[in-house]
Amino acid sequence: DTSDASPSQVEFLYTHSMTNAAHTGHQTDHRLEIATQLFEGWSSGDPDAPEPYFAPDGVLDDVASGRFEGWPTIRSFFARGLTRTGNLTLVPTEFWSNDGGLAVHYVMSGDVVLPETFGPEHVGRRWSVPCMSYLRFDGDRVCYEADFHDKGSRAKSLGIGV
């Protein structure tokens, strides 16, 4: 688990998670920059922040929440999520690359803001879960993001149902 990793450890993982051949390629470096900016957008609290890095006709396929096609639909899904979770952060810890795109391991965390989500006793508490995503690119934008995480892991990280 790298959720407690220092910034220097995360930087090491970021630069050493790929083969040397993949890491030295300009395309891979450029994709890493885009992915990093996209995840900063997802972590910004602003539902419009990821848009410059996501294709207008892109697809977000989230195993826990469904498939969302086109930026307006993705933005709407993301904006709804921001009303249910405070201080949402998606912090990449490792990247892998191939000709088709990037895989990203990250830690997603957020603050419980609605009592109906996990119960009033959990409001203000922070959940944290490991996730994986696969990103495909169309030029300078992500055209497909598949997110893999267990929907029940948020509750488990709060000690619910363990």
Distance CA 47, CA 75 (A): 6
Q: Which residues touch 62 (CB under 8 Å, ≥6 apart)? A: 68, 77, 146, 147
The pTM of this model reads: 0.82
Give the chain's largest Cα–Cα span: 51
Q: What would the pLDDT profile of 5-14 be if each residue is shown by its tens digit?
A: 555 555 544 4
> Which parts of 4-140 fold into alpha helices (H)?
7-16, 20-24, 26-42, 71-84, 115-118
Q: What would the pLDDT profile of 107-133 be if each residue is shown by its tens digit?
A: 999 999 999 999 999 999 999 999 999
- The pair of three-digit structure tokens given for residue 153, joined into one six-digit string: 């892991």
Yes or no: say if 50 and 33 are a contact pair by the CB < 8 Å rule.
Answer: no
